[in-house]
Amino acid sequence: MRTFITGLLGGLALFVWGMLAHTVLPLGDAGMRQSKNEDAVIAALQENMPATGVYIVPGLSSEQMADDASVKAYQAKAPTVPNAMIFYQESGRDGTQMGRNLLAEYLCNTLAALLVAVILTLAPLSKTRRILLSGGLGVFAWLSVSAPYWNWYRFPQDFSLANLAMLVLGWLISGAVMAWWLARTGK
């Protein structure tokens, strides 16, 4: 029960931090841009993307990788044109209706914090070391997910660094709350 409450408190702290990072601080919008002519972009997406998915432009499919002519054409084209990774959904949604997304975010934050709470309760560490371990897990998350996206898919540097700040600070804050609770409850 102690570990469960620790995880719930850590998840709540992480969720509140995420809300503040997105609404009060500029971290949530770092690297985000609006297109000049959104209607033209939407029309081009609808016309050229057959289904929901992730599209890389210019792209080279697995089949094309086996064809020397396709590879050479891609190599000539790719450095000279804009580059994009598009997360495309055929059906839209109202981005101002966030109830379901906020619930999912809270649940994900809490499940992650429950895992961290298990780690923190298993390790006989001081409060400070528990906080640092939690922050280190934020660095681990960034290095294993966000840094590869920056490297392979060219996510913008300001977006990637803001994500690093959000993860590390979020897990330090969550870790501080969990370490406080664990110290308060006797371990």
Tens of pLDDT, residues 22-75: 889 988 888 888 889 989 988 999 999 889 999 988 988 889 999 999 999 999
Report which secondary-structure segment, H or E, holds 55.
strand 53-57
In a domain, 41, yes or no: no
* Percent of the chain with pLDDT strictly greater than 70: 99
Distance between CA atoms of residues 18 and 165, nearest Å: 11
Residue 111, pLDDT > 90, answer yes
- β partners of residue 53: 88
In a domain, 11, yes or no: yes
In a domain, 48, yes or no: no
Tally of CA atoms within 13 A in the half-sphere of 43 that contains its CB: 4
Specify whether 77 is located in the same domain as 123. Answer: no
> pLDDT tens digit string along 114-146?
999 999 999 889 999 999 999 999 999 999 999
Specify whether 19 is located in the same domain as 101. Answer: yes
In a domain, 159, yes or no: yes
In a domain, 46, yes or no: no
Specify whether 24 is located in the same domain as 112. Answer: yes
Q: What pTM was estimated for this model as a whole?
A: 0.84
Domain span including residue 147: 2-34+97-184
Specify whether 66 is located in the same domain as 144. Answer: no
Number of domains in the chain: 2
Specify whether 129 is located in the same domain as 173. Answer: yes
> pLDDT tens digit string along 4-14?
999 999 999 99
Residue 16 pLDDT: 95
